[in-house]
Amino acid sequence: MAGKKAKELPYTLPEEFHVFGFSSDLLAWYDSQKRDLPWRINRDPYRVWVSEIMLQQTRVETVKPYYANFMEKFPTVGALAEAPEDEVLKAWEGLGYYSRARNLQAAAREVQARYGGIVPDTPEDIATLKGVGPYTAGAILSIAYEKAEPAVDGNVMRVFSRLLYLTDDIAKPATRIKIEHLVRQVIPRGRAGDFNQALMELGAMVCVPRSPQCLTCPVFDYCMARQEGVQEDLPIKGKAKPPRPVHLQVAVVMRDGQVLINKRPDTGLLAGMWEFPMVETEVERESAKQDVLSNSLRDRFAVEIEVLESLGEVQHTFSHLHWNMQVWSCDWIEGDELPPNARFVAVDELDTYTFPMAHHKIRELMQQKSDRS
């Protein structure tokens, strides 16, 4: 129809922003300066997918050895889909946020069943996979399949907040959606994957949270926040609610050179992982804490124990919880009929079980006591 107005985008780039120049300069920098990372060896969608899940809330240098080990054990979607969950969790041990591993395996099984082991290449299909949100979907589609889809993580939100002088709170979902619209307008056809990785690389290496390295920035001339001298004031981010403190008593119960461990429930925090028995307490007196611990083990595992001495304290913080763990050395007195989720194991066999990081810290306390003995 003559005179019909083009459909307006919800968010558009400023008219003065030079899209072609920005993309060209950023990609030229990326081509010459990008880091040599193991997941960049090829564009296999499964390798890209695993790397993106591992990199969520985890530093690149931490991920590297885990990624190499994981890909060796589970080199294909089918290998991951068919592996026992305990083996997958063991390969993930130490990375934290274990729901990522469970969701990854559940999604791999779905890809195996529905798509013949081939990671889907459309936004509609890939978004249905467990644990695959907008960022991960955009990363896989752009890097592996060269689809012009945005991949907006914390690095990209920081870069665009400064680049376009955005004062929106990046902690709000609406801001991520806005930046996705803006990034989509800048992605160059044919190099979507490199462009998204270049944005992330820029945020990780140059446009860092504190003291951004503006003088070495390849897109210095395009940055509106830098032009106004406010780059260190951006992005705006609302404060997260502090994690709730939880006070726990932990029992290291020994019997003939073996130690008591139990498996956590199949759902919830640290689901299916092994731990030393523990109970949440609110009491202050040491003797009362010991009584609560003894009673808990009697009720849960049908064992009688003697609490001997404190081995020390362990702190561990999750996104929503802060564990304050007081660890007690205990002796088994009686009780042999343990429930299915508990067992006594030799100390030197603990490495065959998957423990959360908080309980690895308890193992360090055990080792320190052994060294002193």
- What is the pLDDT at residue 288? 86
Residue predicted with more confidence, 317 or 373 = 317
User: Looking up tokens 């990780």, which residue turns up?
Assistant: 204
DSSP 3-67: TPPPPPPSS---TT--HHHHHHHHHHHHHHH----GGGS---HHHHHHHHHHHTTS-HHHHHHHH
| Residue 137 confidence class, pLDDT cut points 50, 70, 90 | very high
Active site residue 82: no
**pLDDT digits 0-9 by tens, 182-191:** 999 999 999 9
Average pLDDT, the chain: 93
Please tell me which residue in 52, 149, 180, 275 is annotated as part of the active site: 52
As a whole number, mean pLDDT of residues 84-101 equals 93
pTM: 0.85
- pLDDT over 60 (residue 303): yes
